[in-house]
Amino acid sequence: MTNLPAPPQPLQLLSVVIPARDEAGCIAATVEHLHVELRLHNVPHEIIVVDDGSVDNTWDVLTETRKRVETLRPIQNSDAHGFGRAVVLGFDHARGDAIVVMMADESDDCRDVVRYWEVLNSGYDCVFGSRFVKGGGVVDYPWLKLWINRCANLFIRFLFRIKPNDTTNAFKAYRREVIAGCRPFLSPHFNLTVEIPLKAIVRGYSWTVIPITWRNRRTGGAKLKIKEMGSRYLFICLYVWLEKYFSKGDYQKKSSEVAEA
């Protein structure tokens, strides 16, 4: 992890961005459980669910759920679809000074969102959850996806000479200035999950890793298509690698960025 900076002003609002495509069977439970957990720990928050072109009744479920969860802000992505595009649209609508990206299928633990908030408030710019450090864990992870995950993360660690071992996991937390400092985003799909943390590390934002837990989805089908994503992940990794070694620090975090945020 990088050195912890001097503690900044306390964060005021957490925005949880959740992209959703055909998640009618689980999105209500995800939102409601998250809302309860954040209220129990007095975390001021908004929950932004981006309906990314669902063809089921995800939007209808969100409309009904909003009647019960006052902090829910559902948004429809009426432009080109894709996981990365939906997340960035959520960023564009987020009002919080801290942002967590979370999956719609309840695979991520709501309690870890609270821990992200607490660690960000200690002064870090980014908090990266890992399922593969002491205290973390996975439940019912398909063996083929697990093997590919471990190989991909080993490649990223070797390429960038970094310690985080779960970079491909989307479930991470950032201060608002990190998201602003990593724009523009190039990844329209799941490769955004590696673009943001790698850019944050390369550009000098402070970060730390905490253990998190993950369980396989219980409803619906996975949206990540492994065969389609390999070249996209590689492109983003090489793009950020070129920035790391050849940009001469042109995109490095400047102290004025934090002061102005």
**Does residue 56 carry a pLDDT above 70?**
yes
Residue 9 makes CB contacts below 8 A (sequence gap 6+) with none
| Residue 139 CB coordination number (10 Å) | 10
**For residues 173 and 178, what is the distance between their CA atoms, to the nearest angstrom?**
10
Instruction: Give the model confidence (pLDDT) of 88-110 as tens digits.
Output: 999 999 999 999 999 999 999 99
Torsion (CA) 146, 152, 155, 156 in degrees, nearest 10: -110
pLDDT band at 230 (very low <50, low <70, confident <90, very high): confident
pLDDT band at 260 (very low <50, low <70, confident <90, very high): very low
pLDDT band at 224 (very low <50, low <70, confident <90, very high): low
- Ordered by start, the domain boundaries in the chain are 14-251
Burial of 58 (0-12, 13-18, 19+ CB in 10 A): buried
**Could you tell me the strand order of the sheet in which 14-20 lies?**
72-76, 45-51, 14-20, 98-101, 172-175, 126-130, 207-211
**Does residue 57 carry a pLDDT above 50?**
yes
Instruction: Give the model confidence (pLDDT) of 103-131 as tens digits.
Output: 999 999 999 999 999 999 999 999 999 99
Task: Name the maximum alpha-carbon separation found in the chain.
Answer: 51
**Does residue 42 carry a pLDDT above 60?**
yes
Q: Beta partners for 98?
A: 14, 175
Burial of 171 (0-12, 13-18, 19+ CB in 10 A): buried
Instruction: Give the model confidence (pLDDT) of 151-186 as tens digits.
Output: 999 999 999 999 999 999 999 999 999 999 999 999
Instruction: Give the model confidence (pLDDT) of 12-33 as tens digits.
Output: 999 999 999 999 999 999 999 9
Q: Beta partners for 99?
A: 15, 174
Instruction: Give the model confidence (pLDDT) of 76-86 as tens digits.
Output: 999 999 999 99
**Any idea how long the chain is?**
261
Q: Look at phi and psi of residue 182 and say left if phi exceeds 0, alpha if psi is from -120 to 50, else beta.
A: alpha
CATH superfamily assigned to domain 14-251: Spore Coat Polysaccharide Biosynthesis Protein SpsA; Chain A (3.90.550.10)
Report yes or no: 113 and 33 within 8 Å, Cβ to Cβ.
no
**Does residue 229 carry a pLDDT above 90?**
no
- Of 103-107, 224-228, 233-237, give the lowest mean pLDDT range: 224-228
**For residues 19 and 249, what is the distance between their CA atoms, to the nearest angstrom?**
32
Alpha helices in 190-225 (DSSP H): 192-202
